Structure 1
Amino acid sequence: MTPSPTAPRRASLTRHDLVASEHVLRDALRDFVAFKSSSLYFPPPGAGQDTEPAWLKGEQKLLLPLSQGGAPLGVFMAKGVRGLQARTLPLLAQAARLCLENLALAKALDTDPVTGLGNRQCLLDALEREIGLVQASILPGQASWQEAPAEARGGFGLVLFDVDYFSWVNQNYGHLYGETTLARLGALLAAKAPEGAALARLEEDLFAVLLPGASAARCLDLAESVRAAAAEEVFDYAVTGERIRLTLSAGFALYPRDLHGGQLAAPAGEAARVLVQKARKTLSAAKDLGRDQVMSFGKLLREGGQILERLPLGRLAVSLGRAADAKEGMRFLVWSPRFEGARQLARDGGHRVLGRYPAMVKGEIILMEAQEDVSYAEVLHLTDASWTLEPGDRLLLAQDPEDSFPGREDPAEPPRRDMASGLLGHRDFIRRFTQAREGEQAFTLALVRLPDPGQDRGASGGSRAEASIQELAALCRDHFGQELLGGRFSTGSLILYVPGQAPAALRERFQALAELARERLGLALSMGLAGHPFLSYGKADVLENCRKALDHAQLIQDGPRLALFDSISLTISADRLFTLGDLYGAVEEYRLALLADEGNVLARNSLGICLGRLGRMAQARAEFERVLALEPRNQMALYNLGHACQRLGEEKTARKAFQRCLKLNPQDVYSLLRLGRMAEDAGKPANARGYYQKALALPGGPRLVTRHLARLAQAQGRADEAREHLQQALLQDPKDAFSLNLLARIYLDAGEDPAIAEALARQSAALRPDQGQFWKDLARALEAQGKTEEARQALGRAG
């Protein structure tokens, strides 16, 4: 019988689905029959399975077979069933079938019908859930920064795959055959992806893999493995006997490493979509650069750009925009891919030899205007004037902030003026500034940026930005004098040099400039000032410090967006390094911030956090104590001090710190958890339960506490209670490796189905391969099923 076109689609259920939904089955069946506890049982392959329910009166057990479409899945075992009548068994069997139907329909809502993978909404939900778990522990300064390393969720990776020239398959072989190839590729992806990964088909031939806890290296390994495997697949077209081969392009982005600024503070749903967009941008770059390759977001800005179009007046359109973290003022070296690879070179007599051309840089460009997906650049230098830059040329981010081609300019060449502002062009300003600063003991550099002009363009006189730059430059000359040394730093910003004065002495003058710009021109400027001398920075560092000050200014919400490069600017810069995983670089920036202002408690607390992450607990504790000497009621420092002392074995001091946190904030879930764990370790389960129950009743408590209650119940021999807590924990976080592992151990300790224990243990070990105990528990589950060789291999990983 053909199903109605409007009939709801059902998905096939697996054992894994039953394990994940055991709590749903339990709660639904309790509406029909009373029981104390429950578990699942999966008969071994070939053992057969009863199709009718059974009540074992003497054992007070109810066995409900679970099947879909006549295929057995497992058995739901309800324990502690009393007074059951035989005539109700068929009704209970029908109830179980209805429960499975509902589970199948719910799964279908999250499943792509072609590949059986998750769909777009399923992936977004998984991303939001994972971001929510990471956000509390990854941002510097958060109270949960030091949750035991074994429990931390430091980040994850998102890898996207796209089939190269897939439209060609549909056009030449039909859409039905195209779907067949997508199903094959989906199965290949599922086979290559590790346990714990979330897989989805987003659209047409676009696939996604979410890898919890993954580093860039792990994402690259998976992407290359899938790409290589796909290239070896052969797709037969039976109609004509043709054999088809396909290739994949891949791109990946990391959370939180590849997000910054307001993106990190955005709600989880927004951050999820930003991450997908970054991964898509990276994938597009992999396709643009030749297909059948892998690109990471971290490499996109450094080496993933190319020239798109040549424009008049020495301008260029390039493929890097704000979506790739491109900013005005960035410099890139340009090289041609035409001379890549080995080539045959002619010799006298017709002989040929094989050689590889050396890398040849054609020139250097600077970004003048960064839009969302593209930027517009200006040519700074050409290595050879006869060798022009052209579409398809590749970009490599230049490292020297001031001059990547020293000595290229002709000293006799007159400086070129920007036509709109009348100030120097970028290159000539840098040259003049480099010369002028040498004779000065003190000076200030200022970056003055216009608000984003958006898409609105004036009907005449060039873009609105050009008109605004012209007016702003005239205002600056009126305000600072006609001899002002200034330049066009980018399309939307000016750079000004003021000799002989420090930034602090110029603050009021620049604030007055901002007020004039607002009153006369209607412009809300952002301004970053940096100067020399400052700490141990040299004169060549001032331009980069000025950029950091501008980043600081653009984060100001209230009042003038004006920032001097100071302790706060350094703290913001260090926070960025922290989220990138560069702890050593962050430590140095935080220390510089404290040299600039010893009273910067945010920098000091964050420095302690970095030292703690690096295992330097005694130094971390000293930093937290210094914060508390300045601010005795600083809850963040109190919590961090408690954890540092706990790691150092100073239990009494740690307990006092957590108790003080609770006096300041009775709803501090993390301190309650810490005190509960300390009571548990001290052999005081009643006290531990009290702390956990208090935390459970607080906002955010259920997500954090249920695993701890489960561990406590399991240690006290209350396996059924522990199982229920764990199922609630996994409902909150399906990728909670510790809950998965503890549930596996409960199944093993109870002598129940080792196949379920194996599935749970595999997931936990895949999510946290650094946990040796997880591998040992997996080995136990394998050994219980007679899989001796696999068990031996798992034990080898435990070491």
Structure 2
Amino acid sequence: MTPSANKPKPIIFSERGTTRHFLFNPPAIAPDNGDSPFAENGSIEAMQQAFPEIYCGDEFLRYAVEQMQNVSCFGSMIIRTDGVVNTGNSGDHDNTLCILGVSRVVDELCRMENGTWGPVEADSLGCFFPGKNDADTLQLAEDIQGRVDGLANGSVSIGVASHPTGNYKKEEIFGNAGKALAHAFFFGANSAVLFDAVSLNISGDELYQKGDVSGAIEELKTALKLDPGNVNVLNSLGVCYGVKGALEEALEAFRDATRFDPQEVMSLYNAGYVHSMLNQTEDALKYYQKAEATGEDVFEVIFQLGKLYLDIGDLDAAKTYLEKAVCLQPDSWIPYLHLGECCEALHMTDEAVTHYETTIKKNPTDACAMSALGVLYNEKAENPEISTLFCEKAVEISPENGLFQFRLGKVYFG
């Protein structure tokens, strides 16, 4: 077996396929712990000894960007080691051997292609190639992966970006390569990704998860300049607007997404949900029905249809959808609660009691189910002590709820 036989085959991606969720939770490019990535690291010292003329870190980036000022186009990449195949030595020694091997490959290629390179972190190298466009730089990334694949230990993942791209300044291009690298992590080791709208979607999600929703919105708006019809980005943008309470802007983003892809179930659902929040019942129902018509049994869609039919008084339809929602997510308490309400409205008391009891088993602090169940127990003249206890507990949990207080009074005084 050759040294590289057990390593993953390089995968080159210029775009990412359809994703269903906004919250990707991608790994960060670098840990934000306040420490310099160059603090007393054997790999950095070894590279400086092997290549005494190279610049490192911010000094390298300043030098490289300065070298690119007089060129009309250039490619940039960040190369990160994926980890090493243990050779029996200490981990640090293996990591140093890996990054040194990668450095020699990169140094040789940069000499051939008039590029410049330097370490940007202990396990990462940066490169700039004047006169190269997206395709050229991606091909160079593939060449690097092929050469590294022949080494005895390790593989690399690479993020690629080039100038010109949109309105980005030259000094911002390497940051785009970093976002492409975070994008590459989704495909596993030995992957290379070209910076695109999905890279910005992932970057926006990272900002979103850190609580910077405004920053995420700006990132996603930039993504749409690169790819105006990207349904995932539009859906993500709508989610961000929704979180900020900008419902009209959220609705516009979701509608745009459904225009580009009328079968995208999450965008259809989200549009329906915003209409529900705006009390636009007919429009909400229309979008939920379109989402159901895609043929995907999505719990949220089925549940919201059942809840909406319950709200408008179509109890038979509500019961059908809520029962289906229970089947789709039997561990969730909320469809049981609304199914109890539906059965109660249909005067199916025994079924209502069963569903409320199930709700409380799954969510012991649900005041709605406690209050309703207490009243039903009282009406059936069963478990009077438990009936009172449930109604009292509901008021204790939600003392501001007038209905719960009314029910408690009814249990007390008949």
Q: TM-score, normalised by structure 1?
A: 0.43
Contact 1:448–1:525 under 8 Å retained in 2: yes
Residue pair 1:695, 1:701 contacting (<8 A) in 2 also: no
Q: 1:655 to 1:729 in 2, by over 3 A?
A: same
Correspondences of 1:256-655 after superposition (within 5 Å): 260-261=25-26, 327=30, 332=34, 366-368=36-38, 418-422=48-52, 423-453=54-84, 458=89, 463-481=93-111, 484-521=115-152, 523-557=154-188, 560-655=190-285
C-alpha separation in 2, matches of 1:694 and 1:538: 53
CA shift in 2, pair 1:736/1:563, >3 Å: farther
Does the Cα contact within 8 Å between 1:755 and 1:781 map onto a contact in 2? no
Does residue 728 (structure 1) correspond to residue 358 (structure 2)? The answer is: yes
Are 1:141 and 1:609, in contact at CA under 8 Å, matched by a contact in 2?
Answer: no
Q: Which amino acid aligns with 1:366?
A: S
Distance 1:442 1:699, change over 3 A: same
The 1:491–1:707 alpha-carbon spacing in structure 2 relative to 1, beyond 3 Å, is: same
- Comparing 566-575 with 604-613, greater Cα deviation is found at 604-613
Q: How far apart are 1:747 and its partner, in Å?
A: 6.8
- 1:17-42: CA deviation from partner (whole Å, max 9, x where unpaired): xxxxxxxxxxxxxxxxxxxxxxxxxx
Matched position secondary structure for 1:366: coil
Change (3 A) 1:735 1:503: farther
What is residue 324 of structure 2 aligned with on the other side? 694
- In the superposition, relative to structure 1, how do residues 677 and 500 fare at CA in structure 2: closer, same or farther (>3 Å)? same
Cα 1:744–1:571 shift into 2, 3 Å: farther
Q: Distance in 2 between matches of 1:776 and 1:455?
A: 66
In structure 2, distance between residues paired with 1:728 and 1:512? 60
1:555 aligns to what SS in structure 2? helix
Q: Which amino acid aligns with 2:36?
A: I
Q: Which has the larger radius of gyration?
A: 1
Is 1:657 matched with 2:287?
Answer: yes
Change (3 A) 1:592 1:750: farther
Q: Aligned pair 1:777/2:404, yes or no? A: yes
Q: CA deviation at 1:683?
A: 2.2
Contact 1:437 1:499 in 2 (8 A): yes
Q: CA deviation at 1:549?
A: 1.6
Q: 1:784 to 1:438 in 2, by over 3 A?
A: farther
- Partners of 1:746 and 1:540 lie apart in 2 by 68
Amino acid at match of 2:343: A
What amino acid does structure 2 have at the position aligned with 1:730?
A: I
Distance 1:492 1:735, change over 3 A: farther
Q: Deviations over 1:243-287 (max 9, x none)?
A: xxxxxxxxxxxxx9xx9437xxxxxxxxxxxxxxxxxxxxxxxxx
Assess if the C-alpha contact under 8 Å between 1:747 and 1:756 holds in 2: no
Deviations 1:164-219 (A, max 9, x none): xxxxxxxxxxxxxxxxxxxxxxxxxxxxxxxxxxxxxxxxxxxxxxxxxxxxxxxx
Distance in 2 between the 1:777 and 1:563 partners? 56
C-alpha distance in 2 between matches for 1:730 and 1:466: 57
What is the letter of the counterpart of residue 450 of structure 1? T
Deviation at 1:527, TM superposition (A): 0.6
Q: Give the Å deviation of 1:723.
A: 3.0
Instruction: Tell me whether 1:759 sits opposite 2:393 in the alignment.
Output: yes
1:708 and 2:335 matched: no
Equivalent runs, 1:200-215 vs 2, <5 Å = none
Tell me if structure 2 keeps the 8 A contact 1:624–1:637: yes
Do the aligned partners of 2:41 and 2:122 also contact (CA within 8 Å) in 1? no
Deviation at 1:476, TM superposition (A): 1.5
The residue identity in structure 1 corresponding to 2:176 is N
Partners of 2:390 and 2:329 in 1: CA distance: 32
Q: Partner amino acid for 1:714? A: E
Greater alpha carbon shift after TM alignment, 748-757 vs 435-444: 748-757
- Structure 2 partner of 1:678: 308
**Deviation for aligned residue 1:436:** 2.5
Task: Report if aligned partners of 1:489, 1:495 keep a CA contact under 8 Å in 2.
Answer: yes
Q: Which stretch has the larger CA shift, 417-426 or 444-453?
A: 417-426
RMSD value, Cα: 3.8
TM-score normalised over the length of structure 2: 0.78
Amino acid at match of 2:237: L
Q: Distance in 2 between matches of 1:425 and 1:565?
A: 23
- 3-state DSSP of counterpart to 1:535: coil
Secondary structure at the aligned position of 1:458 is classed as: coil
Shift of residue 508 of structure 1?
Answer: 1.1
Q: Is the contact between residue 747 and residue 757 of structure 1 (CA under 8 Å) also seen in structure 2?
A: no
CA distance in 2, matches of 1:459, 1:587: 44
Q: Are 1:465 and 1:491, in contact at CA under 8 Å, matched by a contact in 2? A: no
Say if 1:676 and 1:688, in contact at 8 Å, map to a contact too: yes
The structure where helix makes up a greater share of residues is: 2
Aligned-residue offset at 1:778: 6.1
Residue 596 of structure 1, CA deviation: 1.0
Quickly say closer, same or farther: Cα 1:433–1:261, change in 2 above 3 A: same
Aligned position for 2:9: none
Kept in 1, the 8 Å contact 2:26–2:202? The answer is no
Q: Secondary structure at the match of 1:448?
A: strand
Aligned pair count reads 387
Confirm or deny: 8 A CA contact 1:745 1:777 kept in the other structure.
Answer: no
CA contact (8 A) 2:79 2:157 kept: yes
2:308 aligned partner, one-letter code: M
Q: Kindly state the Cα deviation for residue 430 of structure 1 after the two structures are TM-superposed.
A: 3.2
TM-superposed deviation, 1:513: 1.5
Letter of the structure 1 residue corresponding to residue 37 of structure 2 = L
Q: Secondary structure at the match of 1:632?
A: coil
Find the aligned partners of 2:213 and 2:371 in 1 and give their Cα distance.
30
CA distance in 1, matches of 2:142, 2:290: 43
Structure 1 residue aligned with 2:15 = none
Measure how far apart 1:459 and its partner are. 7.1
1:371-391 deviations in Å (ceiling 9; x for gaps): xxxx8669x9xxxxxxxxxxx
Post-superposition shift, 1:725?
0.9
Distance in 1, Cα, partners of 2:296 & 2:57: 56
Change (3 A) 1:668 1:494: closer
For 1:537, what is the secondary structure of its paired residue?
coil
Per the TM alignment, residue 326 of structure 1 is displaced from its structure 2 partner at its CA by 8.9
- Deviation of 1:701 (Å): 7.4
Q: Distance in 2 between matches of 1:326 and 1:566?
A: 17
Q: Unpaired runs of 5+ in structure 2? A: 1-18
The answer to whether the Cα contact below 8 Å between 2:98 and 2:153 also exists between their aligned partners in 1 is no
Q: 1:437 to 1:697 in 2, by over 3 A?
A: same
The answer to whether the Cα contact below 8 Å between 2:208 and 2:216 also exists between their aligned partners in 1 is yes
The whole-number CA distance in structure 1 between the counterparts of 2:311 and 2:410 is 31
**Runs of at least 5 residues in structure 1 that lack an aligned partner in the other structure:** 1-139, 146-255, 263-324, 333-364, 369-374, 381-415, 766-771, 787-799
TM-superposed CA distance for 1:703, in Å, is: 4.0
- Residue 730 and residue 665 in structure 1: after superposition, are their counterparts in 2 closer, same or farther (change >3 A)? farther
Paired residue secondary structure (2:64)? helix
The alpha-carbon distance between structure 1 residues 702 and 543, as it changes in their structure 2 partners (threshold 3 A), is closer
Matched letter for residue 243 of structure 2: R
Q: Counterpart of 1:688 in structure 2: which amino acid?
A: A
Q: Aligned ranges for residues 113-124 of structure 1 at < 5 Å?
A: none
How many angstroms apart in 1 are the aligned matches of 2:398 and 2:355? 17
Measured after TM superposition, the shift of residue 700 of structure 1 is 3.9
